[in-house]
Structure 1
Amino acid sequence: MNKILSLFLMATMALLVGCSDNNDPKEGVQYETLANNLATYRLPPVTEVFSLNCGHCRTMEEVIPQLESLTNQSIGKVHVTFNESATVAAMIYYTAEMQVGGKPDRDMVNELFAALQMGNGATMADKQRAIESVFHSRDLVSPYELDKAQQAQMLGAIKIAEEITEKGQFKGVPTFVVNGKYVVLTSGHQNAEGIADTINYLINLK
């Protein structure tokens, strides 16, 4: 009888331990700690790392308003420069950013995504005209018309983006950097709510 009671107590304790497990995001599954702290770059608490050439980033753009609502954060942006095409796209993005005084609005970002991700039948000239149209429709100077001072300003932004890309060791996008210390593993989530839960957890993680 004592043996039966002992087994029952052990089983009950096992169940209690199982019930006490929390659902906090797990490092290596939902997020990672960056090897190099990016806090010195004064990024917003939540910053999307992205590329205008990236189809998944274009899809994520539609989710950003929901994430901002669920996290109560205005999500910043950093454009990666981990290859030549990403660097060229970054030049286009930072040409916009420097003229509007910060993150371009969603309409402009979506139009830039569309211009850079035109179908296979589009020529470089087609893409250039589309990019110029995005800027000219807002009375902005296009990346193809920058004067020397504007070029220097844009290249300064590119240099910072290169440093962030290198120190962050970003190999794929989109992702989110939280408090300059953590990177969200979007592949470890099923939906926007899950990503938001991880972001909220990391914001409060010491």
Structure 2
Amino acid sequence: MRRKIISWLMPLLAALFMAGAASAAGFDEGIEYKRISPPLPTRDPAKIEVVEMFWYGCPHCYQLEPELADWLKRQPADVEFVRVPAVLAKNWEPLARAWYTAELLGVEDRIHAPLFRAIHQERRRFRSADDLRKFFVEQGVSGKDFDATYNSFGVLTKINRARQLTRRSGIRGVPSLIVNGKYRTSASDAGSHEAMLRVVDYLIERERQARQAAARP
């Protein structure tokens, strides 16, 4: 009986501890981060998933890139990072298709950072498939491969999923980060890019401790 009482109390104590830790860190639900209800599915239940909702045309997403790269280097093996292009408007779709085209072709490293730079440093505009095809070719991607992929069923399926995730997550702008399908935060919520990443660190630890508590006998 005592063991049953202890096993029942442990998750409750863990939740109370995490709530206290959040308060001590200055992070509060509804302020620095929001709960997503119902929670979104994640790719791998064994991992703590962090999704970045971004758009290539967003200057704040571009500015976040170096900070995000440094943050990713510090993440342990139980954290999985996923990029998803937000589709908050119809004119966001071509650049979202660009990400998924690069992903399906396995050329993210050749496209992702250069496309950000082309838009925000070189002031290039990509409004159509032809604009993006030219850019992909400049980066060494076959025009034939681009044509076969950009309007493919695979890209269309991923765009539809991205559109659904954008809507169901409740985000209002980018960049936004979603932790394990349960919470979302942004620089607007947290106050800065740096603070947003600290909020994400807190939420990752919160999920990790909740899992550990649930796994105890």
TM over 0.5: same fold? yes
Q: Counterpart of 2:60?
A: 56
**Over aligned residues, Cα RMSD in angstroms?**
3.2
1:197 is aligned to 2:198: yes
Q: Is the 8 A contact 2:55 2:96 kept in 1?
A: yes
Match of 1:183 in 2: 184
**1:23 and 2:25 are equivalent in the alignment:** yes
> Between Structure 1 and Structure 2, how many residues are aligned?
180
Partner of 1:169: 170
1:92-103 map, 5 Å: 92-100=98-106
Q: Structure 1 residues 110 and 29 mapped into 2: Cα distance closer, same or farther (>3 Å)?
A: same
TM-score under structure 1 length normalisation: 0.72
Shift of 1:78: 0.6
Q: Which of the numbers 39, 42, 49 marks the counterpart of 2:41?
A: 39
CA offset digits 1:101-150 (Å, max 9, x no partner):
8xx23x6312112334553xx566999556533345333447862269x6
- Identify unmatched segments of 5+ residues in structure 2: 1-22, 211-217
CA distance in 2, matches of 1:179, 1:89: 25
Structure 1 distance, partners of 2:202, 2:127, is 46
Amino acid paired to 2:168: K
Give the match for residue 87 of structure 2: 81
Is it true that 1:69 corresponds to 2:73 in the alignment?
A: yes
Q: Equivalents in 2 of 1:193, 1:185: separation in Å?
A: 10
SS at match of 1:200: helix
Shift of 1:195: 2.6
Match of 1:109 in 2: 112
Give distance in 2, aligned partners of 1:87 and 1:36.
26
Greater percentage in helix: 2
Distance 1:32 1:94, change over 3 A: same
Q: Give the drift of 1:28.
A: 2.0
